[in-house]
Amino acid sequence: MCGIIGIVGKQDFEIKEALKMLKRLEYRGYDSAGYGTSSGNIAKCVGKIENLFEKVNNEKARVIIAHTRWATHGNVSEKNAHPHADCKNEIFIVHNGIIENFLELKNFLKERGHYFRSDTDSEVIAHLIEEFNKENNFEEACKKAFSMLKGSFAILAIKKGYEKIVGIRKDSPLVVGIGKNVNYIASDIYAIIPYTKNFIFLHNYDIIILDSNSIRIENLKEGKVKRPIEKIDVEIEEEDNNFHHYMIKEIMEQHKIFDYIFEKNKENFLIFADRIRNSKKIFFVAAGSSFHASIYGYYLLAKLGIYSQPILASEFKNFKNLVDKDTLIIAVSQSGETADVLDAIRIAKSMNSKIYSIVNVYGSTLMRESDYYLLMNCGFERGVAATKTFTAQLTAFYILYKILKNEEFSLEELRAKVLDLLGKSRREFIDKISEVLKEKQHIFLIGRGISYVSALEAALKIKEISYIHAEAFPAGELKHGTLALIEKDVPCIVFLDEENKDETLSNAYEVKARGGTIIGVSPFNDPVFDIWIKIPDGREDIVIYQIIPMQILAYLLAIKKGNNPDYPRNLAKCVTVK
């Protein structure tokens, strides 16, 4: 889940400009950061990339690699930050992923006299290259070292005095950006898209040798290969200084998603719907917020009499015997790089299933490995907690539902209702609720049917950025154990929709009778509510209206507790390790 970049130029490139590129990947990891150059300079810091800027004056270099880390092996410290070096401090590497056989390799290298400075799995890569560089040139040494690695990895390697970058990709993304007298490489297109519109997406086991004017690709299994150059003309929004955090910016721009998701996908939605109609078995595969959106899709298909099943991507291998050539896998992912999701679709493909995906990032691995895909088209999302991408996923399933049902729908109406929810008076009211909740240790959330999806996602938002324990339940399950946890003033957020109104209200009264505080999220008021968050009326679209106030609530809770909602502890947005 780390971010990596590399630059090879004919002329010197400013280190500070390279760090600006790296900062665009900080959502991938913000434990520590570092850079290395072909002149042998290296600098590291703990914490955010801003700390690294302080170590740079006006330094320039022709070859630069840089890294922002999310820790897997080894604690958060400067010694564990990347780049990692060999014994002589001449070979530097940056790595995203996990080296599964690093202990075996480390012992092999120690027997040959290598000594290690860090606790990471990544450092073995630099020493392996050093070992093979004794009898081979640098490129061959890299190839030999890479061939010994097991696990998932995107790696860039450089050597002092050598004006090339050698890299490899295996189950972790790498994309090349082609410039004039300069070439770029990164773990995400977003880092380099301001500098070029021409890209090469690497495949698994592709080894790349990059200099300022040439790109050479070999594949460990196929030998020399050619990968197409793709022109991607995407505008990236300028930073908006009117917002203190990316999360609130992305919450506030959710009304825009309705302008793009359908208009750019009309034909794709029809093809997607037709495949759903003609599939004997359907499984949703996703993780995190995307899994909650998949549960919403599952409920909607059930309304149409279409059987499907949502499966957590990390658990999918336990259900592989249910998958065959007549199965449709609907994979849902914001990044398109989630390791568990990719692992699941590859298992399904091995069983000859069709893979249709809903994804936000163009050129992502999921997009490229799917038989068909829908792009959310909702713009880049930098906040770790999913907001506008979750709403886009809900909208995609809502549109599919309406098409499958042959019903007309108005995205303009959706847009207007969402704009109302984002209004100043609405936010000020939720701010008052956050004052009530900020010191609570536990929050329970309940709903039935599609409103249970809102409870699940709201609980995730609250706990991942405010660190308050929040737990969601189907409302009918309260009597089966959860009521034992209800005490005086314990808050319970209740999501109501017209279809399940009476039964859910009955459950709310059960909580109220035991001293709980009831916060209703509903188009209509009820005496059981201690606090009422009014939302627009809706049917299948009501989940969209229920979740937006909860996103705002989670954000405000995080702020009041002194947390940075963009960078929650222990989390990164793009989960590229299993």
How many alpha carbons fall within 13 Å on the CB side of residue 501?
Answer: 12
Marked catalytic residue, from 256, 573, 574, 578:
573
What is d(CA 551, CA 559) in angstroms, rounded to the nearest whole number? Answer: 13
Marked catalytic residue, from 2, 45, 378, 574:
2
What is d(CA 194, CA 308) in angstroms, rounded to the nearest whole number? Answer: 41
What is d(CA 470, CA 210) in angstroms, rounded to the nearest whole number? Answer: 48
Q: Count the helices and strands in the chain (H runs, E runs).
A: 18, 25
Strand pairing report for 91-99 and 531-534? unpaired
**Which of these, 336, 281, 345, 337, lies nearest to 313 by C-alpha position?**
345
Residue 378 is among the residues annotated as catalytic for this protein: no
**Which of these, 424, 392, 404, 427, lies nearest to 544 by C-alpha position?**
392
Phi and psi at residue 387, in whole multiples of 5°?
-130, -75
| DSSP per-residue codes, 445-485 | EEE-THHHHHHHHHHHHHHHHH--EEEEEEGGGGGGTGGGG
Strand partners, 375: 359
420: its two tokens: 């109302």
Residue 573 is among the residues annotated as catalytic for this protein: yes
How far out from the chain centre does Cα 249 lie? 17
Active site residues: 2, 573
